[in-house]
Copies of this chain bind each other. A is one copy, B any other.
Amino acid sequence: MLSSKPAHEGDRMRVSRQQAAEHRERIVAAAARLFREKGFDGVGVDAIMAGAGLTHGGFYRHFPSKDGLAAEAVARGLGENAERQAASPSLQEFVCAYLSPAHRDNRGSGCMIAALGCDMARQGPEVQRALTAGVRAQVETVRRWIGGRRAEARRRALATVAGVMGTLVLARAVDDAALSEEILAAGRSAFGGAADAMRRTE
């Protein structure tokens, strides 16, 4: 899938350091994808390195341990989450893309929290710190989309972020295609317009 030949070779000297930096980048990218697809324990260092077009021996020139890589991979995946949000013009469109069959069927390039959320609490503190920052950022974006009174909007934003994530997890876990579609549709309906839905001042 990934070519093992570097595609640059330019920029005068110190090509190797630059290449090493690109390799490191490719390792993190491969890990972010593979962890989401198969879970932290479902992929080995050898598979990650192969995914980056390298052999396993060189891994420890870049990372202190598999756990160390995991923290970076999670941070990277959460960054992708933020980019997808930034690319969405409205909550409605974001939720429709998030709760789409395409997203459900592509764990490897999808939401990091939906793919690994259940396992995050069992990971090291670095992973949890990265996750918390990612959640805060995502909630803040949704809060701005929702608008209105700040405290109320934030409450709705928290429920929306959690709600779409849970919906995706459920749609992926279920055995039956029709039920899965129904779950996604229900989520889009409930969370797609949190601004006017969930009207409840308590």
Contacts and interface: CB of A to CB of B under 8 A. Distances in A.
B175 A190 contact: no
B159 A187 contact: yes
Contact of A155 (B158, B186, B199): B186
Nearest to A179: B132
A183 B158 contact: yes
Interface in A159-195: 159, 161-167, 169-176, 179, 182-183, 185-187, 189-191, 193
Contact of A128 (B135, B175, B189): B175
Contact of A163 (B120, B166, B175): B166
A162 B167 contact: yes
Contacts of A187: 158-159, 162
Contacts of A83: none
A27 interface: no
A177 to B, nearest CB: 11
Interface string A115-139: 1111111100100110110011000
A68 B136 CA distance: 39
B131 A191 contact: no
Contacts of A8: none
A132 B163 CA distance: 19
Contacts of A10: none
Given A129-B175, A198-B197, A122 B190 contact: no
A91 interface: no
Interface stretch (A12-20, A35-43, A50-58): A35-43
Given A113-B173, A118-B173, A155-B190, 12 more contacts: A116-B118, A117-B166, A128-B173, A162-B166, A162-B167, A162-B169, A163-B163, A163-B166, A164-B166, A166-B169, A190-B200, A198-B198
